[in-house]
């Protein structure tokens, strides 16, 4: 019986994730352009055709409309359904792994942060401060609920430590490559992600992020020369991987002392 409910809720969170993903597309695009989140209603950016409810169904509308605006046939970016689908999958996996728990809330927060940053960083090469501040506050509140106020403050200091470390890395990178290595958005993002784990775990997440980003950045550099590489999404992916794999401080100490 319990198994049945687990599958039922996993599917429910897949659908909820699809809907949230659709919203994150709007949030990411409009915040980057400093537009209102509510007005105007969703429309085709080319012909201003106002989207009807059946044109707003996550993933399915894209398939029905064959990836084009119904009125002017302007192609719709494939990123819309990809963001929707990924958010759905991340929400479902988060529930499947953690069930109803505080870890589940953190997994939802990180998944949401990742998908919004994918939209802003890939399209505009920025992470809006409003996003960093909002999620920084949410993570801090999460820490108070799951760890208590005292530990929440300790973890806020960990965030500051990671911010400082990332800042130092940027200065080092700038001196080494004689150009801007890391964006200010990445440093602030590291500051809020640093509030999740002890610094040693955060540094491991950062290392994983860099390893995943490496092959991707070669692709980015080939595609558009001397453009900055959006590192933000990789940063969050590193933290999500560490979380889903359940790696903690002790695992890392064991790994380091064994070598």
Place of tokens 């949230």: 20
Q: How far is the CB of 176 from Zn ion (least distance, A)?
A: 46
Q: How far is the CB of 253 from Zn ion (least distance, A)?
A: 56
Closer to Zn ion by Cβ: residue 46 or 50: 46
DSSP 78: T
What sign has the CA pseudo-torsion 160, 165, 167, 168? Answer: positive
C-beta of 75 vs 148, nearer to Zn ion: 75
**Cβ proximity to Zn ion, 69 vs 115, nearer residue:** 69
Q: Which is nearer to Zn ion, 25 or 112 (CB)?
A: 25
Question: Residue 68: phi, psi to the nearest 5?
Answer: -130, 150
> How far is Cα 126 from Cα 221, in angstroms, rounded to an integer?
17
Residue 138 has, within 13 A of its CA and on its CB side, a CA count of 16
Q: How many CB atoms lie within 10 A of CB 175?
A: 9
Nearer of residues 73 and 227 to Zn ion, judged by Cβ: 73
- Cβ 66 to Zn ion, closest distance in Å? 13
What is the rounded distance in angstroms from the CA atom of residue 157 to the CA atom of residue 153? Answer: 6
Give me the least distance between CB of 49 and Zn ion, in Å please: 5
Binding interface with Zn ion (CB under 5 A): 44, 46-47, 49, 69, 71-72, 74
Please tell me the chain's helix, strand, coil percentages from 3-state DSSP, rounded to the nearest 5: 75, 0, 25
Give me the least distance between CB of 238 and Zn ion, in Å please.
38
């Amino acid at each position: 019986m319990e198994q049945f409910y687990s599958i039922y809720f996993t599917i429910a969170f897949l659908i909820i994730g699809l809907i949230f993903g659709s919203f994150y597309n709007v949030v990411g695009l409009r915040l980057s352009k400093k537009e209102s989140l509510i007005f105007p209603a969703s429309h085709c950016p080319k012909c201003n055709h106002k989207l009807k409810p059946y044109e707003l169904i996550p993933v399915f509308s894209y398939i029905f409309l064959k990836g084009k605006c119904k009125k002017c046939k302007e192609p719709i970016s494939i990123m819309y359904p990809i963001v929707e689908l990924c958010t759905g999958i991340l929400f479902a996996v988060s529930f499947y792994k953690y069930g109803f728990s505080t870890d589940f809330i953190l997994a939802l927060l990180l998944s949401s942060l990742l998908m919004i940053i994918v939209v802003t960083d890939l399209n505009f090469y920025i992470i809006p401060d409003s996003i960093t501040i909002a999620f920084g506050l949410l993570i801090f509140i999460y820490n108070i609920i799951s760890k208590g106020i005292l530990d929440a403050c300790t973890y806020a200091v960990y965030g500051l430590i990671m911010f400082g470390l990332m800042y130092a890395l940027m200065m080092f990178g700038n001196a080494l490559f004689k150009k801007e290595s890391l964006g200010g958005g990445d440093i602030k993002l590291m500051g809020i992600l640093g509030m999740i784990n002890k610094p040693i775990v955060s540094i491991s997440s950062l290392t994983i992020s860099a390893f995943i980003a490496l092959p991707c950045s070669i692709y980015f550099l080939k595609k558009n020369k001397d453009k900055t590489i959006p590192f933000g999404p990789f940063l969050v992916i590193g933290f999500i991987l560490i979380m889903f794999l359940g790696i903690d401080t002790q695992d890392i100490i064991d790994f380091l002392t064994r070598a």
